[in-house]
Structure 1
């Protein structure tokens, strides 16, 4: 193509075009002398073209001598192959600055160029500061989001190099292992691990594979922490790194060990329960909600075919209710069936029933105990049959023996009462022969005491209980007898107020004699033709209080109970001491009053009442 006559020559156009490029352009000849240094390079390097043109570049700018740029230029001049210098691998090349004075990040492309009949090169310098800054900002934003997410993670996360040295750690790692984050950087991963745990070489090779392996870590205070590691490998700028997640599974491991221990304990309990059931002589079966047998003990399994208890021939899987319904020859079977149906279908209460085995020779008694299995998620119940024929026979024999003993004791009390009444009659006859009134009075007192004791045995003869008597009614009857023996209402009036109370015979007999003495004395020493005597028996806290008062002449001013020469008073004091009672003379305006306080034993603490099992005798 022909050039226009008005067009400028190429040797003038090319330099001008290189001057206006938004890039640094430098042309070097074969010995690296500068042939072109455009205005962009002048502004960026601060070196005028006049200062470098015609001079060797490394002499004009001495800081470039010995740099990677010099080596690259020499390689291009010698080989003719282009070269590229990137800022990522060569952070310092030309001493270039931006307009604000900051260092310029740049790339350099070196291409071979024919220059003056020889080999030269052209340097193209590109400003990448803005793009590098933009990439750095984006990377920092991305890293900030990543760190925010990782720092919020509950698990410890650390970044390691290939040697196992910690490059970064999140907040959870610092909290979990009780170290400051900056104190972890630069230290080996072993600072977080127990000395007996695998070291980094083994962790990097083994735990990068799935498998859920567990290791042991150590906190700063030396406490142990169970860890589940997860390891991931990644590359950056030609270097390898590892991200390790250390999950604290201490509580999970404890829970697992507790579950294993509970499972073992439950297994042992099940084995122990089964051994216990097998050791019992009773016939035991476990039923599901439908009444089918799901478990039997050894006694049931080994029972002979002709065993007489209900459902003896049932085996695992059989319908027990159906088998019970087909046993009409067993008296009480319908009641047992109804109770079991209520337990299995409606969750009824536990039952205890007796029934006869099949009729015929050798008929036996059985007790059926059945209860719902409330703790089982599947419902059902347990049924037990106990052969209590021997117990029934023993009970019958015992009842017969007790009946004989009761008859014997009643007869003994009857005979004692008759003997005492005979003695009383003899004393009465003897009294009739006496002329001395003083002696006659002594005989009457003796007869009164004997009759008081006879009255106790009479009550024991009339009751079913031979160890104690109801003392309130006994006291009223005793006072009635004393009133009649003294002539009735014309001679004395004895009013009795007595609370019902059961007293053992060892206390009732002495207390009755004390009452007899005090009432007899009140009648004997009455003031006037008729005596008025009041007798009260009440409970007062933990004591039984007997009070005998009259409206007679009263006691002497110097009367002392312990020093009285009266046989009656000495007898009262002796009997009271015998049963642990205290005797007090009460101050009254008229007559005399005595107070006998007898401590009562504390009643036994009542046991908590359990619902009584239903029972039906067959």
Structure 2
């Protein structure tokens, strides 16, 4: 018997027995945690451990029905020590002879205050980090908007038509990247964005800037809901921008109407992007890997960064227009667009 008492007093948890809502026995750990003597507990209710009468009654109303049914009741409660400090305690309760609650209940109490405080500190740190990341994305987006505005201003004052087009294209590349940061800033998740929503916004923005056929140009968007991280979203967004701009600038030369389809889909491992038009198509034996335009060079470099595969089909291989497919892994170690020399 003495050995059992030594064991019960040595364990690092509180063990108590309650009969008719009064404590009839407790081990030594109960004294250590709550700073009361055994005499203070014996034949007393545990009301004085609760911050309010309401909290005390609520706990008993919640705990007794499941214990009467033979179940173990588990709960975390905020209790009060003798010196007034609040602690968090995990309760495990079991009836001695359910459903007869008059036979008493056995309780195990574990002080989890330090763990709770650590969890709260981690949550606070994560929240502060999230706020910081949002602020960084916001500032990056604002800085890119300034650069975009400067390019637009430079284009509007230039008399050189070719230079104007280059500046406007550069402006839209900046806006495509800025849009990723804006989506991250506004999203609840600062690590990933809803890429389908991003593509819809990007394509709409480019059509407003480059479409010269008005309502005679039609666009079909078939976008599955996909989330991408920033390292994937920016290069993929730039690729979409280049492909859509290319369609709007060159696919319908000499035509008065046309259409384009942009689709986005994914499997468990890969993401597939398709940009298709019904325009004039590329010239025969066109090889995009040897293209000298900045836009297609960017597409090739960015495809390598995504560790993806790009295929281009044009007339006469397909019935009409051009179809460009990009397939890239959703999870991969991304390369860098520019290597330091």
TM-score, L = length of structure 1: 0.46
Distance apart, 1:593 and its partner CA: 0.8
2:78 alignment partner in structure 1: 355
Q: Distance in 2 between matches of 1:477 and 1:304?
A: 59
Q: SS of the counterpart of 1:557? A: coil
Q: Distance in 2 between matches of 1:424 and 1:550?
A: 28
Q: SS of the counterpart of 1:332? A: helix
2:194 alignment partner in structure 1: 470
Q: Distance in 2 between matches of 1:287 and 1:489?
A: 83
The runs of 5 or more residues in structure 2 that have no matched partner are 333-341
Q: Which has the higher contact order (CA 8 A, sep 6+)?
A: 2
Q: Distance in 2 between matches of 1:499 and 1:533?
A: 17
Query: Residue 531 and residue 418 in structure 1: after superposition, are their counterparts in 2 closer, same or farther (change >3 A)?
Result: farther
* Aligned counterparts, 1:422-437, within 5 A: 422-437=146-161
1:519 alignment partner in structure 2: 244
| Residue in structure 2 matching 1:453, options 177, 195, 200 | 177
Distance apart, 1:349 and its partner CA: 5.2
Asked whether the 8 Å contact 1:483–1:494 carries over to 2, the reply is no
Asked whether the 8 Å contact 2:281–2:320 carries over to 1, the reply is yes
Query: Residue 579 and residue 293 in structure 1: after superposition, are their counterparts in 2 closer, same or farther (change >3 A)?
Result: farther
Q: Distance in 1 between matches of 2:8 and 2:300?
A: 61
Distance apart, 1:487 and its partner CA: 4.2
Instruction: Select the structure that is richer in helix.
Output: 2
Q: SS of the counterpart of 1:575? A: helix
* Aligned counterparts, 1:270-419, within 5 A: 278-280=10-12, 282-285=13-16, 298-300=28-30, 302=32, 306=36, 313-314=40-41, 323-324=45-46, 329-330=51-52, 332-348=55-71, 350-357=73-80, 362-372=84-94, 383-419=107-143
Asked whether the 8 Å contact 2:17–2:25 carries over to 1, the reply is yes
| 2:261 is equivalent to residue 534 of structure 1 | yes
Query: Residue 457 and residue 305 in structure 1: after superposition, are their counterparts in 2 closer, same or farther (change >3 A)?
Result: closer
Asked whether the 8 Å contact 2:51–2:78 carries over to 1, the reply is no
Asked whether the 8 Å contact 1:576–1:582 carries over to 2, the reply is yes
| 2:279 is equivalent to residue 557 of structure 1 | no
Query: Residue 343 and residue 324 in structure 1: after superposition, are their counterparts in 2 closer, same or farther (change >3 A)?
Result: farther
Distance apart, 1:472 and its partner CA: 0.8
Q: Which moved more, 1:551-560 or 1:539-548?
A: 539-548
Distance apart, 1:299 and its partner CA: 1.8
| 2:205 is equivalent to residue 481 of structure 1 | yes
Q: Distance in 2 between matches of 1:277 and 1:397?
A: 32
Name the Cα RMSD after superposition.
3.6
Q: Distance in 2 between matches of 1:397 and 1:302?
A: 26
Asked whether the 8 Å contact 1:492–1:523 carries over to 2, the reply is no
Query: Residue 304 and residue 441 in structure 1: after superposition, are their counterparts in 2 closer, same or farther (change >3 A)?
Result: closer
* Aligned counterparts, 1:35-434, within 5 A: 278-280=10-12, 282-285=13-16, 298-300=28-30, 302=32, 306=36, 313-314=40-41, 323-324=45-46, 329-330=51-52, 332-348=55-71, 350-357=73-80, 362-372=84-94, 383-434=107-158
The runs of 5 or more residues in structure 1 that have no matched partner are 1-269, 603-618
Distance apart, 1:585 and its partner CA: 2.1
Q: Deviations over 1:15-62 (max 9, x none)?
A: xxxxxxxxxxxxxxxxxxxxxxxxxxxxxxxxxxxxxxxxxxxxxxxx
Q: Distance in 2 between matches of 1:373 and 1:595?
A: 66
| Residue in structure 2 matching 1:508, options 208, 233, 239 | 233
2:221 alignment partner in structure 1: 496
Asked whether the 8 Å contact 2:49–2:80 carries over to 1, the reply is no
Q: Distance in 2 between matches of 1:488 and 1:295?
A: 87
Distance apart, 1:458 and its partner CA: 0.9
Q: Between Structure 1 and Structure 2, whose CA radius of gyration is higher? A: 1
Q: SS of the counterpart of 1:323? A: coil
Q: SS of the counterpart of 2:45? A: helix
| Residue in structure 2 matching 1:588, options 313, 318, 339 | 318
TM-score, L = length of structure 2: 0.78
Asked whether the 8 Å contact 1:325–1:337 carries over to 2, the reply is no
1:91 alignment partner in structure 2: none
Asked whether the 8 Å contact 2:23–2:46 carries over to 1, the reply is no
Q: Distance in 2 between matches of 1:312 and 1:554?
A: 93
Query: Residue 569 and residue 276 in structure 1: after superposition, are their counterparts in 2 closer, same or farther (change >3 A)?
Result: farther
Q: How many residues align?
A: 318
Asked whether the 8 Å contact 1:324–1:337 carries over to 2, the reply is no
Q: Deviations over 1:553-594 (max 9, x none)?
A: 112221223233332222112112212222122453111111
